[in-house]
Amino acid sequence: MVATPLISGVLEAALYVDDLDAAAAFYGGVIGLEEVTRRDTRHIFYRAGETIVLLFVARETLKPPGPGAALPVPTHGATGPGHLCFNVPGADLDDWVETLTTAGIAIEADFHWPNGARSIYVRDPAGNSVEFAEPKLWERVA
């Protein structure tokens, strides 16, 4: 039996949006992520630490690549809201609450998990659930 190969983390995560300009205003403007690339009508990608956040217009990702396409990525897409969680030091969560509320974004939930980690939740313009949480949320207990 072959050993399972190592996975060292998540390289990219995708969410689906309807409006790239609204997504850019939220992820690039309010959250301040660094834009990596944008292709109008189809996608916008951002750097979030070591991970890339892919924001796709779902209906555009359902179109198969044409013959001889430079990027033969298979069709994909999702319907309905998704979820993404940003890793945030606990000391910065109050600043995030202020930044988000000042931008007119409602805090949907702000609470402490049984292990003491804190999370805040908001919705992006497409209705995706966006969480900001302390990394100890997923610490392994010995």
Q: Are 86 and 73 in contact (CB under 8 A)?
A: no
The domains of the chain are located at 12-64+80-138
Are residues 58 and 23 in contact, defined by beta-carbon separation less than 8 angstroms? no
Give the right CATH number for 12-64+80-138 from 2.60.40.150, 3.10.520.10, 3.40.50.10260, 3.10.180.10. 3.10.180.10
132 forms beta bridges with 86, 120
Confidence of residue 133 (pLDDT cuts 50, 70, 90): very high
DSSP sequence for 61-101: HTSPPPTT-SS-PPP----S--EEEEE--GGGHHHHHHHHH
> Could you read off the pLDDT of 41-84 as tens digits, one per residue?
899 999 999 999 999 998 888 887 777 777 677 878 788 899 99
Is the pLDDT assigned to residue 142 strictly greater than 90?
no
